[in-house]
Amino acid sequence: MEKIKGLINAPFTPFHADGSLNLDPIPEYAALLVRNGLKGVFINGSSGEGYMLDEQERMQVAEAWMKAAPAGFKVIVHVGSTCVKSSRRLAAHAQEIGAWGIGAMATPFPRIGRVEELVKYCEEIAAGAPDLPFYYYHIPAFNNAFLSMYDFLKAVDGRIPNFAGIKYTFESLYEYNKCRRYKDGKFDMLHGQDETILPCLAMGGAQGGIGGTTNYNGRVLTGILEAWEKGDLETARELQNFSQDVIDVICHYRGNIVGGKRIMKLIGLDLGPNRTPFQNMTDEEEQAMRAELEAINFFERCNK
């Protein structure tokens, strides 16, 4: 299977003020991402509040991104849910509309506590779109599926024909690299933490990744990859450190899903509020966050 090179963005889902779905900004959103060097989108995931969307809304979002995506821009649809039958329907829909691939994180309920349980879950979902590459989205902080991904790769190898790899959003660089080296790099290990792109490049992997802060800081994050390719380590370090400065700011405002989504408004693309149970930022918090971002010269370097 084709391995992804470059950075894929995990977009926010736009909502109206009343919390209803708002698809109107998506064409402008897609153009912004392309302009800033992103190679595709991973929609309806954690940044996109996918679990707060009903099945029809998730299909509508997928269709809107497919219409907005230019040629060569990859649309990967996150289809994970607490109902595996729903996930299979979403996977089949993604294949029908011509998406590039699908992915799924482990269901948050019931908790998946064994590798075999996870393999079975992925196997059933992936079968809904047999012609598309399937990525497992490893983000145990969201679902408590703290399982060995190396053991998972060994268990899934040869069992799911369209299994492509893992979106790895966890802190263990050792495990990430161990998985990347499995059978001489058989599977695509997509780096999932914007905080540690450079260390993973230095270990020999991370040719592809999926990020959340790429929504508004993609120019800097793609710059890390470009500097590394040129052998410019000092520039790569500076860009990685700046990306961490930005993440430090959003951590003061309930993280990327809440704080990051509000940054989109500050750079000129208002995507609306977050859905319940997220606690939306107040106007006062927005002003405070703007001041913190100005202090690190964010608006001179962010996505335009």
Residue 48 exposed, middle or buried by CB count within 10 Å (0-12, 13-18, 19+): buried
Q: Does the annotation mark 85 as catalytic? A: no
The span from the first CA to the last CA of the chain, in angstroms, equals 33
CA nearest neighbour of 103 among 213, 20, 257, 210 = 210
Q: Does the annotation mark 121 as catalytic? A: no
State how far the Cα of 57 lies from the Cα of 104, in Å rounded to an integer. Answer: 17
The first and second tokens of residue 70, run together, are: 């230019």
Going by the DSSP 8-state scheme, the letter that residue 212 receives in this structure is: S
State how far the Cα of 86 lies from the Cα of 76, in Å rounded to an integer. Answer: 17
E strand or H helix at 41, and its extent?
strand 40-43
The single residue of 39, 74, 167, 261 carrying the catalytic annotation is 167
3-state DSSP call for residue 277?
coil
Which residue is associated with the tokens 């269709």? 63
The first and second tokens of residue 85, run together, are: 């039958």
E strand or H helix at 240, and its extent?
helix 233-250
E strand or H helix at 40, and its extent?
strand 40-43
The single residue of 135, 136, 137, 253 carrying the catalytic annotation is 137
Q: Which residues belong to the active site?
A: 137, 167
